[in-house]
A and B are shown apart, each in its own frame.
Chain A
Amino acid sequence: MANPLQVAAEVVSLQPAGAYHHLVLRAPGVAERVEPGHFVAVAIGGRDSATLLRRAFSIHRADEAAGTVEVVFAEHGKGTRELARVRPGDRLDVVAPLGTPFPVPSGPATALLVAGGYGSAPMFALAERILDQGGRVGFILGAATADRLYGVDQALALTPDVVVTTDDGSAGTRGLVTGPLAEAIAATGAQAVYSCGPMAMLRAVTEIATAHGARSWTAVEESMACGVGVCMTCVLPVVGNDGVSRFVRSCVDGPCFDGTKVRWSDVGTIPADVEGAAAMGVR
C-alpha cells in the first residue's frame, strides 16, 4: 500500500460522462504517488456531515505535472448524489492514494484489460504503463447499455484491439464481457488479463483466463467503512502464499488481487477452512 495523504483537494471540474460523472481534483502531493489500481476515499459533506463514511473510487488518471487526480463515479445513493453537486473551487477532504495497485509487467507483455461499466476507469493508465514497457494491450469493455459504457474512445486511442459488449446489444456485441474473452486470449496470446467490475464478472474472467493459461489480476468491489485498513469491514476469503485461507482486507491487501487466490464462490460466507472459522462454530 502506498503511503497515503489526507488533503483538502480543490474541485477543478465535474463533467458528465455518459451515465457517469468525471471529477478532476487538485490534490497536492497525491498524483506522484499514484499507481494504476490505487483508489481515493472522499469525505461527503463538511465536518458535521451526517454521512460519516467516505466514498471510495478507483483513480482514473493522475497527472503529476498538474497535481490532479481524476475519478469516474455513478450516482448510487445519497453520498454520490451529494458528490455530484460539487462545483469548481469547492474543497473535498480526500485520502489517497489507497490500496495495493495492479502489478505491471516488468518487461514487454501482452495483456487484455476487461471492464464492466465505469470499472474501466483505472484501465487506461494501466494500459499506458504496459505499452511503455514495450508490451501490447487489448480491451474488452462491457455494460448493460451503450450509455453505461465508459472510455471506448480512450481505449481506441491506445489500440485497435477493442471489443465492446452490451447486455441489450445497443452497442457492440450483445452479451457479457466474458463472451469474447477466450477467443481474445487465444488471438492475442495474452499472458495476463486485468479486470475491474462486479464480483461475478471478476470470478468469470478469472476462470476463463486461468483455463486459457493467462494470469488474472482483479480489482474487487467490497463495501468499506474506513478504506485505510483499520475497520475490517471489507474482507473477503483469499488463499495466502502459505496455502492458508484468511479473511483479508480489500482496502489495503487489495483491491487488486491475483484472481486465482480469491475464493469467489465463498465471498459472503465463512468457509470452514478459513483461519479462525472454528471459533465461529463453523466446522
Chain B
Amino acid sequence: MIETTAAGGAASTTQAVGGPVAAHQVDMTAALGRSSLPNPITTASGCAGYGRDLAKFFGLDEIGAITTKTIMPYPRSGRATPRMAETPSGMLNSIGLQGSGIDAFVAHELPWLAQRGARTIVSIAGERVEEFAESAARLTGVPGVVGIEVNISCPNVADRGLVFACNPATSYDVIRAVREVADPALPVYAKLSPDVTSIVEIARACVEAGADGLSMINTLLGMEIDTTRLRPALAGVTGGLSGPAIRPVAVRCVYQVYAAMRAGVMPEVPILGMGGIRSGLDALQFLLAGASAVSVGTVIFNDPGAPVRILEELRDALATRGFWRLADAVGAAHR
C-alpha cells in the first residue's frame, strides 16, 4: 500500500514514479562517490556543536552523519556579542568560528563521538592555505571520521574580501592543499558560498583541485540594523543569513551545479545540499535538484529533534512518490 503522511503530502495529487512502496521498504542509503552513508541526513556545520548537546535529543548514530562546527588549527574566541539577530524565517549569526582548536577536538570530541557510533564529517577552516592543510592532516586515521568539509566560505572572518570561495583560484588552492595531505580514505567536500556571480565556476575549480564532493550552500552575507539603537544589530556588523528564508537560493545553487555536471561542463561529484531545510519535503527538493545527501541546520535551533524527524518525513515522502531507493530521486527534477 502507499503510505501517506502530512510530510509526504496527499498521494492522490502526487505523481508516483514507480509502484506502491511502503516507507520501511525505501532504501535510504546515500551514495557519496566512493563512500556511502546509511541515510542522507547530516547536521549542517555550526548548528550541532560537536554533537554532545544534541545527543540529549536523539541518538547520533540514527542519522547519516554529524557535521561538526568548523574547527581551526588553534583556539579562537570568535566575535563579540551580540552575535545573533532574528530575521523573517531565518536568522543572522556572527559567531566567528569560536573553538578550542584541532588538538583539543581530536583529543576530547572525536573519541566521544566515535564511542557513540556517530559518523563524523569534520568541518575545517584556516586563515591561510597552510592552516586548512594542517587541520586536514591531523584527521588521518582517526576513528569515526567519514569525511572532511572544507569551509572556504564562512562569512564571519576578519577580511571578507578573502573568503576563499569567492574566487576560483583561491578555492582551487585550498582544496588542492587539503586533498594532497588528507587521508586518502576520507572524501573531501568543498563548502561553497552562494555570494558569487557563478557558483558553477567555483564548483568546477574545487572539483578540478580534487574535491570528492561539494557542500552547498553556506550562509548568505546579510545585515540587520537596530532601529532603536540606530546601530547595526550585530557586534560584527554583518552576519550569515540562514534558515528557511534562504532555501530557494540553496535549491537553485544545487540545481545549477548538478545541471552543469549533467551537461559535461564539470566532472560529476556528489552534492551535499543544505540551506533552510525544515521538513522532509524541503529535503526532497534538494534531492530532486541533484543533492545525494542533505544537511539540517538552523531548524535545529527551533526543533532539536529535527534531524530524525526530517529523516522519517523524507522516507515517507519518497515512499509516497513511489521511490524504492533514495538514490533514484537524486536529480529527478532534471529528467
Contacts and interface: CB of A to CB of B under 8 A. Distances in A.
Given A6-B305, A276-B98, A280-B96, A229 B75 contact: no
A233 B83 contact: yes
Interface in A203-232: 222-232
A274 interface: yes
Interface string A270-283: 10001111011110
B117 interface: no
A275 B305 CA distance: 31
A268 B81 CA distance: 5
Q: Is the interface of B mostly helix, strand, loop or mixed?
A: loop
Interface string B293-312: 00000111111110000000
A interface, how many residues as a size bin?
35 or more
A53 B158 CA distance: 27
Given A52-B243, A225-B91, A275 B301 contact: no
A5 to B, nearest CB: 9
A279 B72 contact: yes
Interface in B57-106: 57, 69, 72, 74-84, 86, 88-91, 93, 95-96, 98-101
A274 B77 CA distance: 7
A278 to B, nearest CB: 8
Contact of A267 (B77, B81, B91, B298): B81
Contacts of B299: 52
Contacts of B88: 50
B108 interface: no
Nearest to B6: A47
A54 B278 CA distance: 15
Interface string B224-249: 00000000000100000001100000
Contact of A226 (B69, B77, B101, B300): B300
Given A268-B80, A276-B100, 19 more contacts: A4-B56, A43-B302, A47-B278, A47-B279, A52-B86, A52-B91, A53-B302, A54-B301, A54-B302, A93-B303, A223-B84, A225-B86, A232-B69, A233-B82, A233-B83, A275-B100, A276-B77, A280-B79, A280-B96
